[in-house]
Structure 1
Amino acid sequence: MRVGLYGGSFNPPHRGHAHVGRLALQRLGLDRIWWLVSPGNPLKSTDGLPDVGQRLAAVRRVANHPRAVVTDLEARLGTRYTIDLVRRLKALRPHVRFVLVIGADNWATFHRWGGWREIARMVPIAVVDRPGATFAALASPAARTFAGARVAERDGLLLPDLVPPAWIFIAGVKVPLSSTDLRRAAERA
């Protein structure tokens, strides 16, 4: 089983998130993509963050794909950091080939994540391009640290089977939406 781990606050989820999920399924040949609705990003304030139940319902409407699984697994496992989640999942499901799916904006700041080097050595990472994030992602500390582990985009179907560290940068159509912009627009309305 090849499973993409696509986590976030999804506050609110939007068609840009759905695009990333579908692109990962297609380009990586995943059997499933798990939308991991987090209790809250440790690098962001949780002030005004709707509860997990509300965000789960909203993500289910957006994820709408037969191979998408929307879950609050992080809350149920009691993990707050991606490194802890990856460790637990690999222990619980040793035969599943997990791939971390993140946006280029997250890859640009990946070096701020707790245990980021260890995460990259535990699971392959698919970085999906996002508007305005291309250059920052490709010049990031993570990209430089793991430059020798970058896989050509044309070899995306191989990524889930590779021994980490291994990462890919997936280009393509970019949906110019962000949750931050959507929240700001809602506040002004």
Structure 2
Amino acid sequence: MSARLLSKSFGSLAVRTPHTAAGQRIGLLGGSFNPPHRAHVAISEAILKRLDLDEVWWLVSPGNPLKSHSDLAPLAERLEACERIATHPRIKVTALEADLKSASTVVTLSFLKRRFPDLHFVWIMGGDNLAGFHRWTAWRRIATLMPFVVADRPDWRLRALSSPAARALARFRLDDSKAASLALQQAPAWSYLTLRLSPESSTEIRAGRASISASRAAKPR
């Protein structure tokens, strides 16, 4: 997307964002959060510490364009659930993608770079995201907008690090021992962090809830 189109697209939009101060280091964790869970919190808290960030913003998406929306809870419900679970004072819950009227990562990151040129952003993704990153719209452009950090996920490390995107960007990878400087690096730059792994996932939580509901419905009354 060209700078002219970005300016035209964003010029009339009122996009609500957390309060900021010049020079802050901000992590951006996007996703449907359908529902949010303890692994989201654990990843955010670990990355706050490991990358020496000031805040992590949860970008609660109106809907992932790569996923079905058939079991997607309403945005207001997901935001409320995020606020309940994200009790750390430096984790901020936002719905700015709804204000942008877009769930496209390249649009979101481009907007934030233009709106806050004096901040140091880091995009946060999971190992499962890196494995399929080459399928994202304008993924090469995303990699040049800001540094990104990949949080390890159970059973995904090998697939993530051997993925087309990881191979294409291999020369820009920082060792995780240098992750504290990642926010200040010139993009493209990225790091793959080994973290304490949690098996919890939104997909499994939804499946468990559906199974419980089905069992209750099947019981004779």
Common topology (TM > 0.5): yes
Match of 2:160 in 1: 137
Question: Which whole-Å deviations, capped at 9, do the CAs of 1:119-166 have from their partners, x for residues lacking one?
Answer: 101110000001111111111111100000000101011100000100
Shift in Å, 1:170:
0.4
Does 2:73 match 1:50? yes
Partner residue in 2 for 1:150: 173
The question of 1:107 aligning with 2:157 is answered no
* 1:69 and 2:70 aligned: no
2:198 to 151, 154, 175: 175
1:163 paired with 2:180, answer: no
Could you say which residue in structure 1 is the equivalent of 2:14? none
Say whether 1:85 aligns with 2:108.
yes
Aligned partner of residue 41 in structure 1, secondary structure: coil
Number of equivalences: 189
Structure 1 unpaired stretches of 5+: none
Q: Structure 2: 5+ residue runs without aligned partners?
A: 1-23, 213-221
> SS of the residue aligned with 1:126?
strand
- Secondary structure of residue in 2 paired with 1:74: helix
Q: Quote the Cα distance in structure 2 between the aligned partners of 1:77 and 1:127.
A: 25
**1: CA distance between counterparts of 2:208 and 2:26?**
34
Q: CA deviation at 1:79?
A: 2.1
Q: TM-score, normalised by structure 1?
A: 0.98
4+ residue runs of structure 1 moved beyond 2 angstroms? none
Pick from 25, 38, 47 the counterpart of residue 2 of structure 1: 25
TM-score when normalising by structure 2: 0.84
- Provide the C-alpha distance between the structure 2 equivalents of 1:86 and 1:126, rounded to a whole number of angstroms: 14
Secondary structure of 1:20 counterpart = helix
Q: Secondary structure at the match of 1:48?
A: coil
**Equivalents in 2 of 1:172, 1:48: separation in Å?**
29
Does 2:29 align with 1:12?
A: no
> How many angstroms does 1:48 deviate by?
2.2
In the TM superposition, what is the alpha-carbon distance from 1:62 to its structure 2 partner?
1.8
> Any idea what SS the aligned residue of 1:83 has?
helix
Give CA-to-partner distance per residue, 1:92-123, whole Å, 9 cap, x none: 11111110001111111111110100110111
1:31 counterpart = 2:54: yes
Deviation of 1:173 (Å): 0.8
SS at match of 2:124: strand
